[in-house]
């Protein structure tokens, strides 16, 4: 296998009043293509911060993040936006679906941002909704869907652009145990079916235990 992600000496901090709070300190991480890894840790330990850095939604203070050999912190905003859209799929604890659009329209959004033909975007969205078991729900708006169904729509949206990397931040955090278990099984099915590399931030011990490797984030560093 070859590395899809290479993180070296990553540092990130924030200013709080007169203090500088160091969140990540000389953090190292290497993830091979096809792996699914879990990142666990106490609330406030920096798990979401790390995921945002890996996804190019925030800039590090120091160190490097290479994805598919590209140093993403050196990309300009337009290049980074294009790289994210074409390479990375995101799933969050909150679904972040647009309430005024249908499930199918929400799934189409990443493709429409690429200026993909609308008919092709609609066909791809329909296929992904079928992949997550919602082929009969595409015309429903988010408010008409259950929490688990909304998370399935979010997964379909994350994958419609055929990303290499899936970043999931507490994907079962807002769900009851039974629904959460269904999302865990679906994550693994989609991971294999779409040949993904996946990083999952989670407090769910059962989800973490199903991953190839588990890292704990402690004192700004990852411990396997």
pLDDT tens-digit readout, 162-209: 999 999 999 988 888 899 899 999 999 999 999 999 999 998 888 999
pLDDT for 197: 97
Spans of the chain below 50 pLDDT: none
Rg (CA), the chain: 17
Any residues with CB less than 8 A from the CB of 71 and at least 6 apart, and which?
64, 65
C-alpha to C-alpha distances, 16 to 13, 186, 197, nearest whole angstrom: 10, 39, 35
53 close to 201: Cβ distance less than 8 angstroms = no
Sign of the alpha-carbon dihedral angle for 64, 69, 71, 72? negative
pLDDT for 17: 79
104 close to 125: Cβ distance less than 8 angstroms = yes
pLDDT for 100: 96
114 close to 79: Cβ distance less than 8 angstroms = no
Out of 3.90.1150.10, 3.40.50.300, 3.40.50.10320, 3.40.50.150, which CATH number does the structure's domain 32-60+76-223 have? 3.40.50.300
Task: Note the pTM of the prediction, 2 decimals.
Answer: 0.92
pLDDT for 1: 52
């Amino acid at each position: 296998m070859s590395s899809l992600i290479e993180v070296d000496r990553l540092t990130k901090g924030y200013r709080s009043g007169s203090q500088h709070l160091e969140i990540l300190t000389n953090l190292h991480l290497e993830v091979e293509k096809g792996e699914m890894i879990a990142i666990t840790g106490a609330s406030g330990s920096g798990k979401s911060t790390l995921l945002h850095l890996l996804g190019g939604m925030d800039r590090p203070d120091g160190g490097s993040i290479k994805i598919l050999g590209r140093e993403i912190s050196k990309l300009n905003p337009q290049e980074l936006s294009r790289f994210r859209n074409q390479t990375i799929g995101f799933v969050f604890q909150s679904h972040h679906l647009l309430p005024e659009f249908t499930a199918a329209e929400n799934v189409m959004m990443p493709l429409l941002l690429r200026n993909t033909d609308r008919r092709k975007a609609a066909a791809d969205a329909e296929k992904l909704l079928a992949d997550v078991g919602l082929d009969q729900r595409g015309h429903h708006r988010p408010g008409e869907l259950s929490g688990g169904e909304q998370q399935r729509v979010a997964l379909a949206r994350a994958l419609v652009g055929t990303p290499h990397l899936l970043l999931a931040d507490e994907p079962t955090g807002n769900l009851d145990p039974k629904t959460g278990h269904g999302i865990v099984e679906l994550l693994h099915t989609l991971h294999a079916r779409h040949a993904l590399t996946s990083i999952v931030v989670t407090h769910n011990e059962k989800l973490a235990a199903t991953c190839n490797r588990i890292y704990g984030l402690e004192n700004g560093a990852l411990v396997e």
